[in-house]
Protein backbone atom coordinates (compact mmCIF):
# COMPACT_ATOMS: atom_id res chain seq x y z
CA UNK A 1 0.00 0.00 0.00
CA UNK A 2 1.35 3.39 -0.98
CA UNK A 3 2.19 5.83 1.77
CA UNK A 4 0.00 8.94 2.04
CA UNK A 5 2.61 11.06 3.82
CA UNK A 6 6.36 11.33 3.47
CA UNK A 7 8.83 13.15 5.71
CA UNK A 8 12.04 14.61 4.30
CA UNK A 9 15.01 15.23 6.60
CA UNK A 10 17.39 18.02 5.63
CA UNK A 11 19.89 20.43 7.08
CA UNK A 12 18.58 23.90 7.92
CA UNK A 13 20.83 25.95 5.64
CA UNK A 14 19.07 27.95 2.90
CA UNK A 15 20.64 25.77 0.21
CA UNK A 16 19.71 22.50 1.93
CA UNK A 17 16.13 23.69 2.43
CA UNK A 18 15.93 24.73 -1.23
CA UNK A 19 17.06 21.24 -2.23
CA UNK A 20 14.52 19.53 0.04
CA UNK A 21 11.73 21.76 -1.28
CA UNK A 22 12.75 21.03 -4.87
CA UNK A 23 12.42 17.31 -4.16
CA UNK A 24 9.04 17.94 -2.50
CA UNK A 25 7.75 19.89 -5.52
CA UNK A 26 8.94 17.24 -7.98
CA UNK A 27 7.32 14.46 -5.95
CA UNK A 28 4.01 16.31 -5.69
CA UNK A 29 3.95 16.67 -9.47
CA UNK A 30 3.96 12.88 -9.66
CA UNK A 31 1.86 12.16 -6.54
CA UNK A 32 -0.56 15.08 -6.15
CA UNK A 33 -2.52 13.44 -3.31
CA UNK A 34 0.60 12.94 -1.23
CA UNK A 35 1.44 15.14 1.75
CA UNK A 36 5.10 15.87 2.38
CA UNK A 37 6.65 17.38 5.49
CA UNK A 38 10.18 18.76 5.71
CA UNK A 39 12.12 18.45 8.97
CA UNK A 40 15.16 20.71 9.28
CA UNK A 41 17.97 19.37 11.45
CA UNK A 42 21.22 20.85 12.71
CA UNK A 43 24.27 18.69 12.03
CA UNK A 44 27.67 18.61 13.67
CA UNK A 45 29.08 20.35 10.60
CA UNK A 46 26.66 23.22 11.20
CA UNK A 47 27.65 23.54 14.86
CA UNK A 48 31.42 23.47 14.34
CA UNK A 49 32.06 26.22 11.82
CA UNK A 50 35.42 27.44 13.09
CA UNK A 51 37.49 24.34 12.39
CA UNK A 52 38.28 23.03 8.89
CA UNK A 53 36.31 19.88 8.05
CA UNK A 54 39.45 17.82 7.59
CA UNK A 55 40.30 18.47 11.25
CA UNK A 56 36.98 17.39 12.72
CA UNK A 57 35.88 14.33 10.79
CA UNK A 58 34.98 15.16 7.22
CA UNK A 59 31.87 14.48 5.17
CA UNK A 60 30.03 12.36 7.73
CA UNK A 61 29.41 15.44 9.86
CA UNK A 62 26.95 16.72 7.23
CA UNK A 63 24.71 13.66 7.29
CA UNK A 64 24.90 11.88 10.65
CA UNK A 65 21.85 13.51 12.25
CA UNK A 66 19.82 13.06 9.06
CA UNK A 67 20.69 9.37 8.99
CA UNK A 68 19.69 9.03 12.64
CA UNK A 69 16.28 10.46 11.69
CA UNK A 70 15.97 7.73 9.07
CA UNK A 71 16.92 4.98 11.50
CA UNK A 72 14.51 6.07 14.24
CA UNK A 73 11.61 6.65 11.84
CA UNK A 74 11.32 10.45 12.13
CA UNK A 75 11.97 10.71 8.38
CA UNK A 76 11.37 8.55 5.32
CA UNK A 77 14.16 10.08 3.28
CA UNK A 78 17.09 12.48 3.60
CA UNK A 79 18.07 14.90 0.87
CA UNK A 80 21.79 15.64 0.51
CA UNK A 81 24.23 17.25 -1.84
CA UNK A 82 25.78 14.06 -3.21
CA UNK A 83 29.28 15.48 -2.75
CA UNK A 84 28.67 15.62 1.03
CA UNK A 85 27.74 11.93 1.37
CA UNK A 86 30.50 9.64 2.70
CA UNK A 87 31.64 6.90 0.34
CA UNK A 88 30.59 4.19 2.81
CA UNK A 89 26.97 4.27 4.01
CA UNK A 90 25.76 2.82 7.31
CA UNK A 91 24.33 -0.68 7.03
CA UNK A 92 20.60 -0.44 6.43
CA UNK A 93 20.68 2.77 4.38
CA UNK A 94 21.03 3.33 0.64
CA UNK A 95 21.25 6.13 -1.91
CA UNK A 96 18.00 5.32 -3.64
CA UNK A 97 17.96 8.28 -6.03
CA UNK A 98 20.56 10.45 -7.75
CA UNK A 99 18.78 13.34 -9.46
CA UNK A 100 19.85 14.77 -12.80
CA UNK A 101 23.13 16.57 -12.43
CA UNK A 102 23.07 20.36 -12.44
CA UNK A 103 26.22 22.45 -12.93
CA UNK A 104 29.24 20.43 -11.73
CA UNK A 105 31.94 23.08 -11.92
CA UNK A 106 33.37 25.26 -9.16
CA UNK A 107 33.05 29.02 -9.45
CA UNK A 108 35.35 31.94 -8.73
CA UNK A 109 33.42 34.56 -6.79
CA UNK A 110 35.04 37.96 -6.40
CA UNK A 111 34.04 41.60 -6.27
CA UNK A 112 37.34 42.74 -7.79
CA UNK A 113 38.93 40.04 -9.92
CA UNK A 114 37.54 38.31 -12.99
CA UNK A 115 39.88 35.30 -13.22
CA UNK A 116 42.56 33.37 -11.38
CA UNK A 117 45.32 35.08 -13.32
CA UNK A 118 44.02 38.51 -12.27
CA UNK A 119 44.45 37.76 -8.57
CA UNK A 120 47.46 39.56 -7.03
CA UNK A 121 50.22 37.65 -5.29
CA UNK A 122 49.37 36.55 -1.74
CA UNK A 123 45.69 37.28 -2.36
CA UNK A 124 43.51 35.70 0.35
CA UNK A 125 41.30 33.00 -1.15
CA UNK A 126 38.54 31.43 0.95
CA UNK A 127 37.64 27.78 0.52
CA UNK A 128 36.46 24.97 2.76
CA UNK A 129 37.95 22.26 0.57
CA UNK A 130 41.41 20.70 0.44
CA UNK A 131 40.52 19.53 -3.06
CA UNK A 132 40.05 23.11 -4.23
CA UNK A 133 43.02 24.38 -2.24
CA UNK A 134 45.50 21.92 -3.70
CA UNK A 135 44.38 22.43 -7.29
CA UNK A 136 44.44 26.21 -6.95
CA UNK A 137 47.91 26.13 -5.43
CA UNK A 138 49.14 23.95 -8.29
CA UNK A 139 48.06 26.77 -10.64
CA UNK A 140 48.94 29.73 -8.39
CA UNK A 141 51.34 28.70 -5.58
CA UNK A 142 51.64 32.35 -4.55
CA UNK A 143 48.02 32.54 -3.33
CA UNK A 144 47.15 32.62 0.37
CA UNK A 145 44.55 29.91 1.01
CA UNK A 146 42.36 30.54 4.08
CA UNK A 147 39.75 28.09 5.48
CA UNK A 148 36.18 29.34 4.98
CA UNK A 149 33.17 27.57 6.51
CA UNK A 150 29.49 28.43 6.79
CA UNK A 151 26.52 28.52 4.46
CA UNK A 152 26.62 30.31 1.11
CA UNK A 153 25.25 33.58 2.50
CA UNK A 154 27.79 33.61 5.32
CA UNK A 155 30.67 33.06 2.91
CA UNK A 156 29.46 35.77 0.55
CA UNK A 157 29.10 38.20 3.46
CA UNK A 158 32.74 37.64 4.40
CA UNK A 159 33.76 38.32 0.82
CA UNK A 160 31.66 41.49 0.76
CA UNK A 161 33.30 42.60 4.02
CA UNK A 162 36.63 42.44 2.15
CA UNK A 163 37.99 39.55 4.23
CA UNK A 164 38.91 37.79 0.98
CA UNK A 165 39.99 38.75 -2.52
CA UNK A 166 37.93 35.83 -3.81
CA UNK A 167 36.16 32.70 -2.64
CA UNK A 168 35.54 29.39 -4.42
CA UNK A 169 32.06 27.88 -4.28
CA UNK A 170 30.15 25.15 -6.07
CA UNK A 171 28.40 26.86 -8.97
CA UNK A 172 25.31 24.66 -8.57
CA UNK A 173 24.57 26.07 -5.11
CA UNK A 174 24.75 29.64 -6.34
CA UNK A 175 22.44 28.84 -9.24
CA UNK A 176 19.91 27.13 -6.97
CA UNK A 177 19.82 30.16 -4.67
CA UNK A 178 19.35 32.56 -7.60
CA UNK A 179 22.82 33.99 -7.04
CA UNK A 180 24.38 33.07 -10.36
CA UNK A 181 25.20 36.73 -10.94
CA UNK A 182 27.84 36.44 -8.19
CA UNK A 183 29.86 34.05 -10.35
CA UNK A 184 32.76 35.90 -11.96
CA UNK A 185 34.10 32.84 -13.72
CA UNK A 186 33.34 29.14 -14.00
CA UNK A 187 36.50 27.15 -13.35
CA UNK A 188 37.13 24.64 -16.12
CA UNK A 189 37.80 20.96 -15.54
CA UNK A 190 41.39 21.62 -16.62
CA UNK A 191 41.70 24.08 -13.73
CA UNK A 192 39.75 22.30 -11.00
CA UNK A 193 38.16 18.85 -11.17
CA UNK A 194 35.07 18.85 -8.92
CA UNK A 195 34.23 16.60 -6.01
CA UNK A 196 32.58 13.25 -6.66
CA UNK A 197 28.84 13.87 -6.97
CA UNK A 198 29.13 17.65 -7.23
CA UNK A 199 26.00 19.26 -8.66
CA UNK A 200 23.84 16.20 -7.86
CA UNK A 201 21.05 15.84 -5.30
CA UNK A 202 21.03 12.47 -3.55
CA UNK A 203 18.07 10.95 -1.72
CA UNK A 204 18.90 8.45 1.02
CA UNK A 205 16.37 5.98 2.41
CA UNK A 206 16.18 2.98 4.68
CA UNK A 207 17.21 -0.04 2.64
CA UNK A 208 14.05 -2.11 3.23
CA UNK A 209 11.63 0.80 2.66
CA UNK A 210 10.54 -0.27 -0.81
CA UNK A 211 7.33 1.83 -0.67
CA UNK A 212 9.27 5.09 -0.36
CA UNK A 213 11.81 3.95 -2.91
CA UNK A 214 9.08 3.22 -5.46
CA UNK A 215 7.52 6.64 -4.96
CA UNK A 216 10.77 8.56 -5.41
CA UNK A 217 12.14 6.36 -8.21
CA UNK A 218 10.95 8.72 -11.00
CA UNK A 219 13.41 11.35 -9.74
CA UNK A 220 16.38 9.09 -10.44
CA UNK A 221 18.42 10.04 -13.52
CA UNK A 222 20.07 6.99 -15.01
CA UNK A 223 23.06 8.64 -16.71
CA UNK A 224 23.81 10.75 -13.64
CA UNK A 225 23.55 7.66 -11.46
CA UNK A 226 26.10 5.82 -13.59
CA UNK A 227 28.52 8.75 -13.51
CA UNK A 228 28.26 9.32 -9.76
CA UNK A 229 28.61 5.59 -9.13
CA UNK A 230 31.91 5.62 -11.05
CA UNK A 231 33.12 8.73 -9.20
CA UNK A 232 32.27 7.33 -5.78
CA UNK A 233 33.81 3.94 -6.61
CA UNK A 234 37.12 5.64 -7.40
CA UNK A 235 37.04 7.63 -4.16
CA UNK A 236 35.97 4.60 -2.13
CA UNK A 237 38.94 2.57 -3.39
CA UNK A 238 41.30 5.45 -2.55
CA UNK A 239 39.74 5.97 0.87
CA UNK A 240 38.90 9.58 0.07
CA UNK A 241 37.05 11.97 2.35
CA UNK A 242 37.62 15.60 3.25
CA UNK A 243 41.05 14.82 4.70
CA UNK A 244 42.67 14.16 1.32
CA UNK A 245 42.55 16.20 -1.91
CA UNK A 246 40.74 13.78 -4.24
CA UNK A 247 38.58 14.80 -7.20
CA UNK A 248 36.45 12.81 -9.64
CA UNK A 249 34.18 13.74 -12.51
CA UNK A 250 32.52 11.42 -15.03
CA UNK A 251 30.63 12.06 -18.26
CA UNK A 252 28.47 9.60 -20.17
CA UNK A 253 28.76 9.76 -23.96
CA UNK A 254 26.62 7.26 -25.81
CA UNK A 255 27.36 3.96 -24.03
CA UNK A 256 30.71 4.98 -22.57
CA UNK A 257 31.71 6.65 -19.33
CA UNK A 258 34.74 8.92 -19.29
CA UNK A 259 36.00 9.30 -15.73
CA UNK A 260 38.56 11.97 -14.76
CA UNK A 261 40.35 11.50 -11.45
CA UNK A 262 42.86 13.45 -9.39
CA UNK A 263 44.89 12.97 -6.24
CA UNK A 264 47.10 15.76 -4.91
CA UNK A 265 49.02 16.74 -1.84
CA UNK A 266 47.75 19.68 0.20
CA UNK A 267 50.37 22.13 -1.09
CA UNK A 268 49.58 21.36 -4.72
CA UNK A 269 53.20 20.50 -5.50
CA UNK A 270 52.23 16.96 -6.50
CA UNK A 271 49.12 16.52 -8.62
CA UNK A 272 48.26 13.21 -10.27
CA UNK A 273 45.62 13.14 -13.00
CA UNK A 274 44.30 10.22 -15.02
CA UNK A 275 41.33 9.27 -17.19
CA UNK A 276 39.61 5.90 -17.52
CA UNK A 277 36.87 4.90 -19.95
CA UNK A 278 34.58 1.93 -20.19
CA UNK A 279 31.07 0.65 -20.71
CA UNK A 280 28.36 2.54 -18.84
CA UNK A 281 27.05 -0.87 -17.75
CA UNK A 282 30.01 -1.21 -15.36
CA UNK A 283 30.57 2.15 -13.62
CA UNK A 284 31.91 0.59 -10.41
CA UNK A 285 34.62 -1.19 -12.37
CA UNK A 286 35.63 2.01 -14.18
CA UNK A 287 36.03 3.82 -10.86
CA UNK A 288 38.04 0.98 -9.34
CA UNK A 289 40.33 0.80 -12.41
CA UNK A 290 41.02 4.53 -12.32
CA UNK A 291 41.86 4.31 -8.63
CA UNK A 292 44.40 1.58 -9.41
CA UNK A 293 45.94 3.74 -12.16
CA UNK A 294 46.33 6.63 -9.72
CA UNK A 295 47.82 4.34 -7.09
CA UNK A 296 50.40 3.12 -9.62
CA UNK A 297 51.25 6.72 -10.47
CA UNK A 298 52.11 7.38 -6.83
CA UNK A 299 48.81 8.23 -5.14
CA UNK A 300 49.51 5.72 -2.37
CA UNK A 301 52.47 7.77 -1.15
CA UNK A 302 50.44 11.00 -1.23
CA UNK A 303 47.54 9.40 0.63
CA UNK A 304 49.87 7.90 3.23
CA UNK A 305 51.55 11.26 3.86
Q: Which residues are catalytic?
A: 84
* Cα–Cα distance, 13 to 49 (Å, whole number): 13
Q: Contact 164/125 with Cβ under 8 angstroms?
A: yes
Amino acid sequence: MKKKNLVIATRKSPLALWQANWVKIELLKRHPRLTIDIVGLTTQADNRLVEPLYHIGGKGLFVKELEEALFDGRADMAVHSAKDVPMELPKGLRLAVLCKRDEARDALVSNQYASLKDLPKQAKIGTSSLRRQSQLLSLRPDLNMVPLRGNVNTRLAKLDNQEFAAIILAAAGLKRLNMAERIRRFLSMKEIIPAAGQGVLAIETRDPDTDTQAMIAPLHHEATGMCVTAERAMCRRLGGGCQVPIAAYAEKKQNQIYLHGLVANRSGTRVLRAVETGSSKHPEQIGARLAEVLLRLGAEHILHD
